[in-house]
Amino acid sequence: MAGQLVQYIVVRADLLKTLNWPVGSVIAQACHACCAVTYLYQNDPYTQEYLKDLDNMHKVVLEASIGFFHKTVVHSLSVL
């Protein structure tokens, strides 16, 4: 596989700003999602490649508005 694999974590901005979730709760949900997706796709070749070098895993955390999240992120994931 060419290039570095990256795990993107998209967090809804409204959880902190509108719904007033504690930062720890948002982080816990993001961690849960990362663990769950790793488990669900553990047999995927890209996941296996990503997990081979634990010291060099690359993650990017992004914040998205609820509108962007639903229109773009959810739609993109549904077509995978």
Q: What is the pLDDT of residues 18-45, one digit of tens each?
A: 999 999 999 999 999 999 999 999 999 9
**How large is the average pLDDT for residues 39-68?**
92
Reading phi first (left if > 0) and then psi (alpha if -120 to 50, else beta), residue 35 is in alpha
| In 1-80, beta strands by DSSP E | 6-12, 58-64
Identify the pLDDT of residue 72.
Answer: 77
